[in-house]
Structure formats: structure tokens, C-alpha cells
Chains A and B, each alone.
Chain A
Amino acid sequence: MTRLVATLPVAFTIAVYGGLAGCTNTPCKDGFLMNARNQCVPDTLDTLDTTDTGTTTDGWVSLPDNCTAPDGLSDDPLQLVARPEDDEPQQGGPLYEMLDLAYAPTEELMYAVGQGGLIVWELQTPSIIGTFPPEGHSRYHQIELLSDGLVAVSHRDRGIEIINVSGDPSTYSVDYFWPIFGASGMAWIPPYLYVTSQDGELDTLKFKNEALTPVSTVYGLEAPWVFVIDGEHGWIADNLLGIVPIDLSDPELPVIGESVETVGGALDIVHHTNNSGQEALYVATGSTGLQVFSVDEAGLPVAEMSIPYSNSIVSVAADEDTLWIVGHEDVAVLDISDALNPIPIGVEETQGFGLHVEAEGATGWVADWGQLAIYQVDSLVLAPSIDLSTDAPLMGDSNEVTVTLGNRGGATLNLFGATSTDPRVTILSSTDEVPSGESGEIKLLFTGDDQPLDATICLASNDPENPTLMLQLSDQSEIQSSIAYGETAPDFTLTDLDGTTHRLSEQLGHPVVLVYFATW
């Protein structure tokens, strides 16, 4: 997947092509150069010295020859080790997106749920050994392993279903169910199954003696996603409220405590005790990244630190001294031997669209849209890891762009070269050394004329995964908006998914944020 790190509405469009197609130190054979379109072309046409800013010849651009990474880079500590090939899963087919995973170590199976229903993976290849329902297509949200070959799944419309998975997948059946509209997160502390609902409830069910019975319902949540429990304390990641502490001194009547805000939303949470016995809560806060909380004696979260990422973080998992976080486009691993001060180890792009992560030891399993991707980390290898993002000028006149050069690896990032193929793009300044976990920046200036801009900025560094990275700059003239800033917004009337009608012109006096998106 080619990652588009940033697009800028006015001054530039920037696309970053990472890893250069295969991610080796020498992406092209001897005698060939990589052009701006990531193609290997003969280098006989140009012999460049280090002061040359590049030449356009017959539609391709040769890179300045000082934009090469040196030999002898360290190993890459974080590697994708297995992922089935995509074969364009069809909507409703068994390979539709997976929202939650549950690892069953004794069976060496991974249970996944999502729009394809319940999907069972064997972990060697990995490959799918069965789905439930067999034709796929259900709206399962989350899964919780119970005991004796049973799993509980939540379904937004139907509630909780307990599926017997003890035999071959073709024999799976729903043995018990309980209706809870908007069912989302679950936690299983036998014999109690706690269920959160997007209607704001926390339901307690009892599952004992072959019966699933309701015990209590308490209210006070907004948009709960994930519920984790340790002893008498529990915590709910609620995307509107933040972290909601739950007192479980009476396991049949949970008490909802006062919520603690996060820096952004709260899409996933883990409660973890590391190898040194230190306790922490790790929260995926969406576009604001990862946030770390300590837990006081009363079980209340205390904000300690947060780490922003250039892509939205949607899931977290921890095992021993390793923390895994997953965004739609990134898998990142951090060392949590100091629980409240995670130290980055590395970051790797997802092949598809990351939705969930589970971890054990040095292995991380990522629900990568409809595929299960397996990653391995060697936390003893220290290497830098580039994470680029831009602080884009908004509708301004500035032709200056700052590219933030984050280092998500465990060793210092050294930038060996940053060059532009277009002389109208000047690299004003650049950090050449970025310590682990910190950020530097590259400032670019476009001294524009009327000619369109189509330039490549090449960065060479000691990142073993991306020894050369290219930023593609193209001119603003390629982006055209059908209405201009300051013009009256065209009126429209549309119905939402709940059947309510909304008319834009009736909202005068209220700022309206319109978010157009594509679901693909």
C-alpha cells in the first residue's frame, strides 16, 4: 500500500513513498536509478554530481546521487512475517473487515469477529479454517473467550450470542443469547459477563448452569467500546467520556465512577502489569495517538503521558514488557519495561487497514482489514524508524512547508541527505539527527512561478526499513474546489441513518463541520 502521508490544500500536495518497493538498500540493479515514479531506469542518461538538483528527461527524473543510504544499516527490529495475499474479498464474504481478535493459546487459534461474522484462523500460515455463520456476513463487534469451548460475541442489533466452538467450525451453533441493543464491549469474570451498550448501559449477565440470565443494568455511559477488569476495578474506554472507572466490589451491581478525559477519544484500552510489576492503562485515543495512565489505589486513572502519531491509533495490546499499538496505516511497538514511559522500538506500515491487535511475547497479530497479519519484534535491536508528517499551511499565502521527521525507533535517526529534483523547491533547513522518540523537521520553500510543480524530495537516512524515502510534491493547481472559501455554502437537505432530516440552511448561527468520507 502506498501511503499518502499528507496532502496540502494550497501550497503543495505531498505524498510520501516509503520503503521504495521492496525496502532494500539497493532497490535498483547496478546501472539503474530509481525515478520519481519508483521505477528503475538506466542511469546512463545522466551523470550527476552532488550539487545537481536533478534533471527531467523524457518524463522521468533521476535522483541526485547523494541521496543514497550508506551500507551497513542495522537490522529492522519489527518485521511482518506472514499475511495471506489479498484476493479482493467481496462484501458479505468471509473475508470482510475484522474488528476484534481473541487468541486461544491452547488451541493455537485466533478467533476474529467483524462484518464477516466469526472467523477462525489457524496461525501457522495463517489461514481461515472456518466461519460462523458459514455464509459469513453478520455484524459481530467484539469477542470474548469464555470456558469449555464457548465464546461470547456482541452484535449491535441482536445483543449477546454465546457460540459453541468446541467442534469443527461447520458444527458451530448459537447456544445462548440475550438481546442488548447497541451491544459493544464485554468482560468475562466467571460467572459474570459484563456488556456495554452504545445506548449508555452497562449490563451484568450471569452465565451459569447452562443459563444466561440478566442480573443488573446501570446507566451513565455514552459511547463505550472496550471494558477491561482487574479484580474489583474495571475501566471502560468510552469514545465520548474518556476512561470510565467501574467499581466492582459488588460484582452483581457495578458502580460507574466519574470519567477521566483522554487527550482525544478512547477506542481501546488495556490494563497491564509489566515484568517489573508496574501497572498501567494504555489507551488508543484515535487521532491523538496513545495515552498512558497510572492507576491509583482507588483504581482511578491518572494521566501520565501521551504520544502522538501521524495516523489514528485504534487498538492497543500489551504482553510482558512490550506494547503494541495499531492505527489504520501503522503497527508500532514500544518497550514498556518502564511502564509509564514507553520507549519506541519501531513502526511498520500496514499492508491494508489496521483495525485491531493482539500480542503474546514477541508476536503481534493484527486484524488488517480482512486478513490476519503476523508481526515479530526483536526488542533488543535498536534502530531508527521514520514517521513523517506535515504541519500544513491552511489556505494561506505561504509557500513554506514544514515536514516533521519523527523517529519511532529505539536508536538515533541520522539524515544523510535531503535533495530536491526541482530547483524551485529549496530545502531551507533540516534536522540531521533525531534522537529516539523525538522529532525534527525539514523546512521547504517553493519559490513558485506559473509553471506547475512536480518535484521529488529524496531523504536518505539510517532507517533500515526506509533507507531512502521520497516525498512527491505537486502543485496546488491540481486541487480544485467547486466552491471557494467565503462563498455561501450550497444548501442541501439529507436524511441521516436514524431517519432524521437535516437541512443546512436551517443551521445559521451554528458552525457546521461537514465530513465527506469514502468507506473504501
Chain B
Amino acid sequence: MTIWRDYRDAGVLVWGVGSNEPVDVLERFRDQLGITFPILNDVDGSVFEQYSMTNGLPTAAYPQDWIVGVDGTIAYINNHYEPAQMISVIDSELDR
């Protein structure tokens, strides 16, 4: 994710969250996609339940991207990867 590369020095955190997945599966996923940001292991899926979006189309449920703003509120929700939109939200958060 280029957001991590470009914005980590500005204090932006990127956390991957894997829910109900065995550790070795998460590790494989990390290795395969070359992920360098932390991947958090949501062992029982409880965090995912708090955040999840549901959708009439099962294949559309992932990925889910959220941005928590500098004040701890939800600043962005999307279940389609839209880097340009995410960057504009991050830029406006950093300007706050």
C-alpha cells in the first residue's frame, strides 16, 4: 500500500486486520503480498464485528478500508480500494 510508504513519516499508521484466520495463513498473506505494515490478529473476529460492513453481494464484502481521524472518529469507510480518496482524507486529517 503506497499510503504506508508515503505517509508513515507523517505519522499515519496503517494496520492490517485479519479476523478469524490462523497465524500461518496471515503470515503467508503478508509474505505473498509484500506487506510491511503491521498485521493485527483479530483472533476471535470481535473487532471485525464492531467494524464490519455487510453487503448484498458476498464477493463485495472485502476489502474494507476505514480511516480513523486524528480525533478518533471515523473519517472514511469504503469497501472498494480507492487510494486517491484515501489520500485526500489523510491529507485533510493531517491539516487539522
B93 A516 Cβ-Cβ under 8 A:
no
Residues of B within 8 A of A483 (CB): 50-51, 74
Q: A495-B40, A511-B13, A514-B67 are in contact. Are A489 and B74 (CB under 8 A)?
A: yes
A513 B67 Cβ-Cβ under 8 A:
yes
Contact bitstring A279-302, B, C-beta under 8 A = 1, else 0: 000000011100000000000000
| A394 CA to B67 CA, complexed, in Å | 13
Partner-binding segment picked from A24-32, A343-351, A499-507: A499-507
| A80 CA to B46 CA, complexed, in Å | 42
A358 to chain B, nearest CB (A): 18
Residues of chain A in range 488-520 having any CB-CB distance to chain B below 8 Å = 488-490, 492, 494-498, 500, 502, 504-505, 507-519
B77 A9 Cβ-Cβ under 8 A:
yes
- Determine whether A99 belongs to the interface, using a CB cutoff of 8 Å to chain B: yes
Residues of chain B in range 38-96 having any CB-CB distance to chain A below 8 Å = 38-42, 46-57, 59-83, 85-86, 89-90, 93-94
A505 B72 Cβ-Cβ under 8 A:
yes
Residues of B within 8 A of A490 (CB): 47, 50-51
Q: Which residue of A lies closest to B67 (CB)?
A: A513
A287 B70 Cβ-Cβ under 8 A:
no
Q: A513-B3, A513-B65, A513-B90 are in contact. Are A496 and B74 (CB under 8 A)?
A: no
Which residues on B are within 8 Å of A, measured CB to CB? 1-5, 7, 11-19, 21, 23, 25-32, 34, 36, 38-42, 46-57, 59-83, 85-86, 89-90, 93-94
B46 to chain A, nearest CB (A): 8
The dominant DSSP class at the A interface is loop
B83 to chain A, nearest CB (A): 6
- Determine whether A248 belongs to the interface, using a CB cutoff of 8 Å to chain B: no
A–B Cβ pairs within 8 angstroms, 20 of them: A7-B80, A8-B80, A9-B53, A9-B80, A239-B36, A240-B5, A265-B5, A286-B2, A480-B53, A482-B50, A483-B74, A485-B75, A496-B38, A510-B70, A511-B68, A511-B89, A516-B48, A516-B62, A516-B66, A518-B61
- How many residue pairs between the two chains, A and B, have CB atoms under 8 Å in the bound complex? 222
- Determine whether A355 belongs to the interface, using a CB cutoff of 8 Å to chain B: yes
Contact of A486 among B4, B18, B73 (CB under 8 A): B73
B59 A519 Cβ-Cβ under 8 A:
no
B11 A509 Cβ-Cβ under 8 A:
yes
B50 A495 Cβ-Cβ under 8 A:
no
A4 B59 Cβ-Cβ under 8 A:
yes
- Determine whether A21 belongs to the interface, using a CB cutoff of 8 Å to chain B: no
B59 A500 Cβ-Cβ under 8 A:
no
Residues of A within 8 A of B69 (CB): 511
Contact bitstring A411-431, B, C-beta under 8 A = 1, else 0: 000000000000000000000
B32 A225 Cβ-Cβ under 8 A:
no
A492 B21 Cβ-Cβ under 8 A:
no
Residues of B within 8 A of A264 (CB): 2
B77 A485 Cβ-Cβ under 8 A:
yes
B34 A97 Cβ-Cβ under 8 A:
no
B85 to chain A, nearest CB (A): 5
Contact of B42 among A395, A494, A504, A519 (CB under 8 A): A494
A453 to chain B, nearest CB (A): 11
| A91 CA to B25 CA, complexed, in Å | 9
B13 A15 Cβ-Cβ under 8 A:
no
